[in-house]
């Protein structure tokens, strides 16, 4: 157990303590206990920069299930470190924000922070594990904790719906990924990611390659809310805003991005990967930004915007993967897409995180997030307004903020996709920059809507629940820090390039690097009058135009058929699934014990009969049988007749007496078959049994005649006869088919020597198989207790009934 | 003898199954009783019948009947007695509470799980 392991597990360990801290320090907001942890972890992970910036990695292993190749291996490299810093850094800010956002008197803080810590630990585990099974375990833990966080306000119907939706979709993806992991294991024979990357050639040429790739991408796409799995993200906005800021902007939804980046060296040599990742990414980018424009809830705008931005990063990773195929490090032609992906990942976390927090502030101070009700808040909340401007302008790609830089690089990456002359990109590749550009126009549009519809325009106090005012200072600290980062990264992007971006790229495209080499990343603001610059200018001009004439064209949104939407598909699918399973269950769970017995007996007949037939097990050997004497035949007849007569017995008394007759005959058989102990036991037990039956019979109330009538039922008869026949066949086969000798010789020899007894049956019971007998006594004891309780129960219940009268 | 016993066991299982499929609780219990008789005899028959003396060393016989099935059956007899007794009390309670021993009437009401 290294310090690194402790760091990853520390959120989970602290989660155990939270309920106690919450209980014993009621006066202190529980968030304060949490805050130091992500801050300390952030500082701890910062130390690794000196290692990773030179291309180094740190690896620590704790053996877990070594025999299956599953070890708790943690690896810090450029990519993992970048995510770890995001998780802990944004985590600390979100915790700080939540302290002011969540009211300790109204909310259950202990559960909230336990879930949050659970999530933080799971996320760190995902991005730092080097073992696919460990990664998968943490991956599912993020889905699980996200479910809990989304459904935190579980009294709201929408919260529960959103939580279930995200759970179903992400867990579906997680299971697909598990399938992919297992297939990858079949190909490579290892769960280690580092070793798998070494073997990428074998992976690409394996027949399972495409299936593995698709399963992995399903995992990544569901987690990162890529089209058409994006539908869960907007519903997940029911979570408290700090959660949305943390999970749905900076961390969890980026797990899919992480997975794609992490697996790029393994899969990216194929055209399928480039096409799927870039294609789905661009589609998501467009659909997300297009849908964001029609939203009226601030959080919904941000949700679709997140979907869209995730698609953008995804498409960049896909396009950049082409570098592994063609590019070399010198020309850096496609590599720029990867640079843009990593850079935008950081930028998105900063501006989207701050925007979510701004939304939280607006919601908190006005009581609504509906842009139709909001307006003119600029004068009431100047600081929030400034923060919103910085965040949205960065998102829209306006200089000098960091979003502008990554957006420019994004255009560069997409333009180069259009120039690709492999993977069949030459025909369709031109679509990439076109879709990317139009999506950027919508991005610009919703960014402007977000800030101007909220903060400018007419102030409508009558529609607000509270009188708006500036947020408390504590709520402003976190967004202010994030917004400053937006500006700092915008003006000095190269503070990141060497220490953070270049090592992360080294993990995504390792095969392009010689030993000890690193990517030389330099981000500049001015490239001269390039195509990218004109695209940006076009986005702003066209975006402004659309914003101005919005009422004229917004009608197209209502033209979209709502019946065809993916949400509807999901809802109907879920309904149908529930209905079908309910109907199927109802069709065989009738509530009649007879039905269940019929199932059991039918299965018994089918299983045994088919075994007898297909295994050719039925044999009849008449050579080695014991002789039959006359009175034995008589006994057999007595028994058979009494058993059959029970079927037709009209009164209960007759049946009980006949059952007794069968029992006593069995005892006689035991005598004949040289089993004196059995005979004695059977006699005693049978006597007691019959007495018991009669006793019960005595107590049973009289029942009307017609209920006593026994009707003949053909199915029952058929099943019974089949059961009887099967048992007879088994008995005959067992007799005729002695494949090995009896093991009882051992007991015959050792009864006296080892146990000092002469009665073999008794010695077996009390000595050789003493535990059996002990548990048998226990069973009898339990039965006795049960009987006693049942009889006692009658008394208490009877009294209650009397009282009720 | 084994062949004859095999058929007898078949008959016992058949009647037991038929009784267990009926509606009356008491008949179901009787059915389980018959089923255990059948199972005991089946165990014994599988071990072979009338081979040697009773499994008592004091008999000083050249061979003994197989003691292992007998030990198993002894356990089974006692357990089946416990189960039968428990069943009976449950049936008795069901009468007390619900006034019927018809399984169809004992079935839980719709939507009342």
Mean pLDDT, range A161-181, rounded to an integer: 92
- Tell me the pLDDT tens digit for each residue of A288-312: 888 888 888 888 888 899 999 999 9
How far apart (Å, rounded) are the C-alpha atoms in residues A110 and A21?
Answer: 8
Q: Report pLDDT for A330.
A: 54
- Mean residue pLDDT of chain A comes to 84
Chain centre to alpha carbon of residue A433: 35
Phi-psi region of A296 (alpha: psi -120 to 50; beta: other; left: phi over 0): alpha
Kindly determine whether residue B4 and residue A633, on different chains, have CB atoms separated by under 8 Å.
yes
Q: Report pLDDT for A426.
A: 65
Kindly determine whether residue A779 and residue B79, on different chains, have CB atoms separated by under 8 Å.
yes
Kindly determine whether residue B75 and residue A717, on different chains, have CB atoms separated by under 8 Å.
no
Interface probe for A, chosen from B77, B91, B108 (most Cβ of A below 10 Å), is: B77
Q: CA separation (Å) from A559 to A441, A552, A553, A556?
A: 21, 14, 11, 5
DSSP 8-state code for residue A497: I
Confidence of residue A805 (pLDDT cuts 50, 70, 90): very low
Q: Report pLDDT for A208.
A: 87
Please state, as a whole number, how many other Cβ atoms lie within 10 Å of the Cβ of residue A70: 17
Q: Which residues make beta-bridge pairs with A370?
A: A297
Confidence of residue A327 (pLDDT cuts 50, 70, 90): low
CB-nearest to B68 from A725, A747, A787 is A747
Q: What percent of chain A is predicted at pLDDT more than 70?
A: 94
Determine the distance in angstroms separating the CA of B111 from the nearest CA of chain A, rounded to an integer: 11
How far apart (Å, rounded) are the C-alpha atoms in residues A713 and A722?
Answer: 14
How far apart (Å, rounded) are the C-alpha atoms in residues A711 and A324?
Answer: 79
- Tell me the pLDDT tens digit for each residue of A464-480: 777 777 888 888 888 89
Q: Which residues make beta-bridge pairs with A759?
A: B56
- Tell me the pLDDT tens digit for each residue of A692-710: 888 877 766 555 444 445 5
Determine the distance in angstroms separating the CA of A606 from the nearest CA of chain B, rounded to an integer: 15
How far apart (Å, rounded) are the C-alpha atoms in residues A474 and A101?
Answer: 9
Exposed, middle or buried, A294 (CB in 10 Å: 0-12/13-18/19+)? Answer: middle
| A653–chain B Cβ distance below 8 A for any pair | no
Interface probe for A, chosen from B4, B12, B18 (most Cβ of A below 10 Å), is: B18
Instruction: Name which residue leads in pLDDT, A160 or B93.
Output: A160
Confidence of residue A540 (pLDDT cuts 50, 70, 90): confident
Exposed, middle or buried, A349 (CB in 10 Å: 0-12/13-18/19+)? Answer: buried
Interface of B with A in 94-113 (CB under 8 A): 95-97, 99-104, 107-108
Q: Report pLDDT for B110.
A: 46
Domain extents in chain B:
1-50+65-101
Kindly determine whether residue B14 and residue A721, on different chains, have CB atoms separated by under 8 Å.
yes
Fold of B1-50+65-101: Helix Hairpins (1.10.287)
Instruction: Name which residue leads in pLDDT, A618 or A577.
Output: A577
- Tell me the pLDDT tens digit for each residue of A482-493: 999 988 888 888
- Rounded to 5 degrees, what are φ and ψ at A76? -105, 115
Domain extents in chain A:
749-805
Chain A neighbors of B73, CB-CB under 8 A: 675, 678
How far apart (Å, rounded) are the C-alpha atoms in residues A445 and A237?
Answer: 21
| B58–chain A Cβ distance below 8 A for any pair | yes
Mean pLDDT, range A148-162, rounded to an integer: 88
- Tell me the pLDDT tens digit for each residue of A639-666: 999 999 888 877 778 888 899 999 999 9
Confidence of residue A379 (pLDDT cuts 50, 70, 90): confident
Q: Report pLDDT for A516.
A: 60
Confidence of residue B106 (pLDDT cuts 50, 70, 90): low
Please check whether residue A117 is in contact with residue A11, taking contact to mean a CB–CB distance below 8 angstroms: yes
| B61–chain A Cβ distance below 8 A for any pair | no
3-state secondary structure A94-134: HHHHHHHHCCCCCCCHHHHHHHHHHHHHHHHHHHHECEHHH
Radius of gyration (Cα) for chain A, nearest Å? Answer: 37
Q: Is the dihedral of CA A368, A370, A376, A381 positive or negative?
A: positive
For the cut 90, the answer to whether the pLDDT of residue B24 exceeds it is no
Chains A & B: contacts with CB separation below 8 Å: 260
CB-nearest to A659 from B30, B41, B89 is B30
Instruction: Name which residue leads in pLDDT, A580 or A368.
Output: A580
For the cut 90, the answer to whether the pLDDT of residue A154 exceeds it is no
How far apart (Å, rounded) are the C-alpha atoms in residues A170 and A147?
Answer: 10
- Chain A residue with CA closest to B38: the answer is A666
Residue in the structure block whose two tokens are 């006359």: A630
Q: Report pLDDT for A708.
A: 47
For chain A, the first-to-last Cα distance in angstroms comes to 68
For chain B, the first-to-last Cα distance in angstroms comes to 51
Confidence of residue A576 (pLDDT cuts 50, 70, 90): very high
How far apart (Å, rounded) are the C-alpha atoms in residues A142 and A244?
Answer: 14
Kindly determine whether residue A791 and residue B41, on different chains, have CB atoms separated by under 8 Å.
no
Chain A neighbors of B1, CB-CB under 8 A: 625-628, 632
Confidence of residue A28 (pLDDT cuts 50, 70, 90): confident
Chain B neighbors of A663, CB-CB under 8 A: 33, 37
How far apart (Å, rounded) are the C-alpha atoms in residues A187 and A722?
Answer: 50
Confidence of residue B12 (pLDDT cuts 50, 70, 90): very high
Long-range pairs, A767-772, Cβ under 8 A, ≥24: A769/B71, A772/B75
Supply the DSSP string of A679-737, one letter for each residue.
HHHHHHHHHHHHHHHHHHHHHSPP--HHHH-----HHHHHHHHHHHHHHHHHHHHHHH-
For the cut 90, the answer to whether the pLDDT of residue A179 exceeds it is yes
Please check whether residue A223 is in contact with residue A256, taking contact to mean a CB–CB distance below 8 angstroms: yes
Interface of A with B in 712-731 (CB under 8 A): 713, 716-717, 719-721, 723-725, 727-728, 730-731
How far apart (Å, rounded) are the C-alpha atoms in residues A436 and A417?
Answer: 11
How far apart (Å, rounded) are the C-alpha atoms in residues A146 and A166?
Answer: 8
Chain centre to alpha carbon of residue B61: 32
Q: Report pLDDT for A650.
A: 75
Chain A neighbors of B50, CB-CB under 8 A: 626-627, 672-674
How far apart (Å, rounded) are the C-alpha atoms in residues B87 and B26?
Answer: 9
Kindly determine whether residue A760 and residue B99, on different chains, have CB atoms separated by under 8 Å.
no
- Chain B residue with CA closest to A602: the answer is B17
How far apart (Å, rounded) are the C-alpha atoms in residues A447 and A520?
Answer: 33
- Tell me the pLDDT tens digit for each residue of A194-237: 888 888 888 888 888 889 999 999 999 999 888 888 888 888 88
Interface probe for B, chosen from A675, A715, A746, A759 (most Cβ of B below 10 Å), is: A675
Chain B neighbors of A612, CB-CB under 8 A: none
Interface of B with A in 26-55 (CB under 8 A): 26-28, 30, 33-34, 37-38, 40-42, 44-55
- Nearest 5 degrees, angle CA A20-CA A24-CA A30? 70
Determine the distance in angstroms separating the CA of A578 from the nearest CA of chain B, rounded to an integer: 17
Supply the DSSP string of A641-683, one letter for each residue.
HHHHHHHH--SHHHHHHHHHHHHHHHHHHHHHTT-HHHHHHHH
Residue in the structure block whose two tokens are 């130091």: A36
How far apart (Å, rounded) are the C-alpha atoms in residues A119 and A127?
Answer: 12
Q: Report pLDDT for A172.
A: 92
Kindly determine whether residue B8 and residue A636, on different chains, have CB atoms separated by under 8 Å.
yes
For the cut 60, the answer to whether the pLDDT of residue B108 exceeds it is no
Supply the DSSP string of A765-804, one letter for each residue.
IIIITHHHHHHHHHHHHHHHHHHHHHHHHHHHHHHHHHHH
Q: Is A279 helix (H, G, I), strand (E, B) or coil?
A: helix
Determine the distance in angstroms separating the CA of A788 from the nearest CA of chain B, rounded to an integer: 9
- Chain B residue with CA closest to A721: the answer is B14
How far apart (Å, rounded) are the C-alpha atoms in residues A636 and A627?
Answer: 14
């Amino acid at each position: 157990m290294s310090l690194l392991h402790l760091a990853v597990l520390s959120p989970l360990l602290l989660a155990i303590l939270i309920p106690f801290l919450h209980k014993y320090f009621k006066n202190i907001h529980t968030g304060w206990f949490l805050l130091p942890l992500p801050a300390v972890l952030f500082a701890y992970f910062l130390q690794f920069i000196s290692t990773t910036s030179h291309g180094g990695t740190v690896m620590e292993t704790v053996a877990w299930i070594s025999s299956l190749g599953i070890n708790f291996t943690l690896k810090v490299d450029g990519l993992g470190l970048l995510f770890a810093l995001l998780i802990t850094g944004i985590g600390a800010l979100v915790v700080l924000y939540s302290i002011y956002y969540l009211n300790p008197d109204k909310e259950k803080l202990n559960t909230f922070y336990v879930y949050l810590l659970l999530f933080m630990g799971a996320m760190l585990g995902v991005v730092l594990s080097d073992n696919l099974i460990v990664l998968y375990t943490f991956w599912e833990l993020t889905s699980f904790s996200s479910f809990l966080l989304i459904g935190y306000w579980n009294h709201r119907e929408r919260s529960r719906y959103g939580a279930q939706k995200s759970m179903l979709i992400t867990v579906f993806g997680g299971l697909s990924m598990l399938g992919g992991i297992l297939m990858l294991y079949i190909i490579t024979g290892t769960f280690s990611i580092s070793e798998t990357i070494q073997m990428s050639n074998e992976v690409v040429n394996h027949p399972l390659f495409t299936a593995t790739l698709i399963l992995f991408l399903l995992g990544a796409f569901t987690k990162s809310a890529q089209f058409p799995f994006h539908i869960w993200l907007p519903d997940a906005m029911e979570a408290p805003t700090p959660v949305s800021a943390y999970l749905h902007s900076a961390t969890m939804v980026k797990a899919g991005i992480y997975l794609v980046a992490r697996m790029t060296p393994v899969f990216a040599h194929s055209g399928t990967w480039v096409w799927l990742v870039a294609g789905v990414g661009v589609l998501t980018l467009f659909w997300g930004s297009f849908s964001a424009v029609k939203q009226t809830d601030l959080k919904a705008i941000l949700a679709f915007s997140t979907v869209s931005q995730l698609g953008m990063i995804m498409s960049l990773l896909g396009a950049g993967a082409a570098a592994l195929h063609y590019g070399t490090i010198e020309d850096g032609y496609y590599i720029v897409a990867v640079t843009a992906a990593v850079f935008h990942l950081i930028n998105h976390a900063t501006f989207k995180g701050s925007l979510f927090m701004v939304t939280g502030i607006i919601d908190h101070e006005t009581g609504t997030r509906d842009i139709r009700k909001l307006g003119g808040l600029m004068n009431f909340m100047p600081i929030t307004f400034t923060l919103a401007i910085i965040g949205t302008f960065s998102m829209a790609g306006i200089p000098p903020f960091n979003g502008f830089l990554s957006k420019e690089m994004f255009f560069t990456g997409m333009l180069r996709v259009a120039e690709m002359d492999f993977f069949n990109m030459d025909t369709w590749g031109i679509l990439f920059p076109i879709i990317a550009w139009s999506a950027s126009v919508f991005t610009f549009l919703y960014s402007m809507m977000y800030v101007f519809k909220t903060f400018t325009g007419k102030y409508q106090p009558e529609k607000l629940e509270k009188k708006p005012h500036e947020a408390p200072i504590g709520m402003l600290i976190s967004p202010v820090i994030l917004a400053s980062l937006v500006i700092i990264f915008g003006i000095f992007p190269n503070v990141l390039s060497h220490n953070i971006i270049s090592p992360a790229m080294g993990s995504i495209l390792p095969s392009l690097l010689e030993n000890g080499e690193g990517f030389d990343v330099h981000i500049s603001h001015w490239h001269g009058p390039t195509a990218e610059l004109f695209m940006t200018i076009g986005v702003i001009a066209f975006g402004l135009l659309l914003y101005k004439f919005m009422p004229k064209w917004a009608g197209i949104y209502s033209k979209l058929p709502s019946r065809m939407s993916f949400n509807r598909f999901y809802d109907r699918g879920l309904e149908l699934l529930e209905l079908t399973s309910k109907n199927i269950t109802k069709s065989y769970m009738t509530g009649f014990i007879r039905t269940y017995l019929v199932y059991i007996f039918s299965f018994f007949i089918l299983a045994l009969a088919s075994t007898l037939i297909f295994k050719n097990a039925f044999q009849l050997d008449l050579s080695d049988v014991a002789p039959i004497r006359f009175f034995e035949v008589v006994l057999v007849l007595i028994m058979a007749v009494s058993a059959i007569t029970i079927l037709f017995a009209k009164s209960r008394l007759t049946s009980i007496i006949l059952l007794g007759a069968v029992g006593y005959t069995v005892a006689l058989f035991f005598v004949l078959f040289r089993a004196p102990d059995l005979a004695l036991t059977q006699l005693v037990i049978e006597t007691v049994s019959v007495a018991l039956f009669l006793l019960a019979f005595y107590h049973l109330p009289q029942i009307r005649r017609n209920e006593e009538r026994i009707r003949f039922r053909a199915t029952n008869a058929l099943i019974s006869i089949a059961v009887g026949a099967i048992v007879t066949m088994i008995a005959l086969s067992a007799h005729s088919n002695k494949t090995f000798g009896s093991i009882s010789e051992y007991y015959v020899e050792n009864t006296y020597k080892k146990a000092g007894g002469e009665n073999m049956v008794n010695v077996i019971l009390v000595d050789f198989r003493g535990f059996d007998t002990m548990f048998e006594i226990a069973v009898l004891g339990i039965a006795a207790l049960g009987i006693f309780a049942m009889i006692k129960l009658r008394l208490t219940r009877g009294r209650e009934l009397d009282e009720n009268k | 003898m084994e062949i004859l016993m095999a058929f007898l066991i078949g008959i016992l299982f058949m009647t037991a199954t038929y009784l267990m499929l009926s509606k009356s609780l008491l008949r179901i219990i009787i059915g389980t009783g018959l089923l255990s008789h059948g199972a005991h005899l089946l165990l014994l028959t599988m071990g072979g019948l009338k081979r040697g003396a009773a499994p008592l060393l004091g008999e000083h016989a050249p061979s003994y009947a197989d003691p292992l099935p007998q030990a198993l059956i002894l356990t089974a007899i006692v357990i089946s007695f416990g189960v039968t007794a428990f069943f009976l009390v449950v049936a008795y309670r069901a009468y007390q509470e619900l006034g019927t021993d018809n399984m169809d009437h004992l079935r839980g009401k719709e939507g009342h799980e």
